[in-house]
């Protein structure tokens, strides 16, 4: 299968690298061609436009920073839809949306893909940039079963745990749900670490107490470490949290769910982005509590960035067994 990949940012470049490492015939594109230099040096091809790419590959993956960016790449005159429409009637090409996006928007674009002769799957990732680098990240996939079966070999080359979430849009809902939970967990950990410090607890001891207790979580085992190191570098920025929280709020509003915690989280991250900048690392939201109490939440022995030290293993479908 020949695969095209558009969007070579922090996550996209790593996912594309996994495809290349696992032997796929890969064509790439980014607004900044220098982002593709390493992949091209390892054998990836380059597409001069999304349309050129879409006309010549079996599957086009987009991994972009916003729904607006995805729409532009899809609907421009030299976009993916134009490339799909120019094909000669061979097997329907796949558009795989790996961006964190709005489920209503991904369904709208999926309809346009179908009209242009293609099929769509939304397949966002979860698990952190460090796991994207090693192919051990999780991927949710929203599409019909036949499209899922076609896409699965590509998805298992990029990720370890692949979950068929349901129809198109379902994966995007689950992605913003899980990112919402991660943001809520991050804020609660910031409050817990600062409170522990002010109350006189050694922070290395606090970290271990949380890790071995009912308070443990994936966010604690990753983001708490870079908070305590002081780098706060998790390869995720304030503006991306703001985007994810707004997407979650939109899903809840369409579903008629009254939210209580979500508006508080939005206020916290809006304030943090205003204070420290929208491109500041998201774990630096802890500075709001550090400044309020006059303490620094730092401890020796923690890494400046997260590195996945687990070996890459073949990806597999996660089968839902309950219900």
Q: Which CATH architecture has domain 2-172+312-318?
A: 3-Layer(aba) Sandwich (3.40)
Find tokens 């982002």 and name the residue.
35
Rounded CA-CA distance 158/162 in Å is 10
pLDDT at 11: 95
pLDDT averaged per 10 residues, the chain (length 323): 96 97 98 97 98 98 96 98 91 96 96 98 95 94 98 98 98 98 98 98 98 98 98 96 98 98 98 98 98 98 94 94 79
Q: In the prediction, which pLDDT does 148 show? A: 98
Indicate where the chain has its CATH 3.40.50.720 domain(s).
2-172+312-318
Q: Whole-model pTM?
A: 0.95
One DSSP character per residue, 243-291 reads: HHHHHHHHHHHHHTPPPSHHHHHHHHHHHHHHHH-TTSBGGGGGHHHHH
According to the model, what pLDDT value does residue 89 have? 74
Report yes or no: 286 and 227 within 8 Å, Cβ to Cβ. yes
Q: What architecture is domain 173-293?
A: Orthogonal Bundle (1.10)
**Which residues belong to CATH 1.10.1040.10 in the chain?**
173-293
pLDDT score of 199:
98
Q: How far is CA 23 from the centre of its chain?
A: 23
- Cα 274 from chain centroid (whole Å): 23
CA 286 to chain centre: 22
> What is the reported pLDDT for 322?
78
């Amino acid at each position: 299968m020949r695969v095209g990949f558009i969007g070579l940012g922090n996550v996209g470049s790593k996912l594309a690298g996994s495809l290349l490492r696992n032997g796929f015939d890969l064509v790439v594109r980014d607004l900044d061609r220098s982002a593709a230099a390493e992949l091209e040096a390892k054998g990836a091809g380059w597409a001069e436009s999304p349309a050129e790419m879409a006309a010549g590959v079996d599957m086009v993956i987009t991994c972009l920073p916003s729904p607006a960016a995805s729409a532009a790449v899809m609907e421009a005159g030299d976009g993916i839809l134009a490339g799909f429409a120019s094909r000669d009637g061979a097997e329907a090409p796949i558009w795989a949306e790996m961006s964190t996006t709005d489920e209503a928007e991904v369904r709208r674009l999926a309809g346009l893909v179908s009209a242009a002769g293609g099929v769509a799957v939304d397949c966002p990732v979860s698990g952190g940039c460090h796991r994207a680098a090693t192919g051990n990240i999780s991927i949710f996939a929203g599409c019909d079963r036949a499209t899922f079966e076609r896409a699965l070999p590509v998805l298992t080359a990029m990720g370890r745990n692949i979950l068929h979430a349901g129809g198109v849009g379902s994966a995007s809902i689950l992605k913003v749900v899980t990112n919402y939970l991660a943001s809520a967990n991050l804020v609660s950990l910031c409050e817990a670490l600062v409170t522990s410090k002010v109350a006189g607890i050694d922070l290395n001891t606090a970290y271990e107490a949380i890790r071995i207790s009912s308070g443990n979580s994936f966010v604690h085992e990753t983001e708490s470490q870079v908070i305590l190191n002081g780098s706060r570098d998790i390869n995720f920025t304030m503006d991306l949290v703001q985007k994810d929280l707004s997407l979650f709020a939109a899903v809840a509003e369409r579903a008629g769910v009254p939210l209580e915690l979500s508006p508080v989280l939005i206020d916290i991250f809006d304030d943090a982005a205003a204070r420290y900048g929208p491109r500041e690392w998201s774990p630096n939201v802890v500075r709001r509590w550090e400044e309020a109490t006059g303490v620094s939440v730092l401890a020796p022995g923690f890494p400046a960035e997260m590195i996945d030290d687990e070996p890459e293993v073949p990806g597999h479908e996660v089968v839902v067994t309950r219900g």
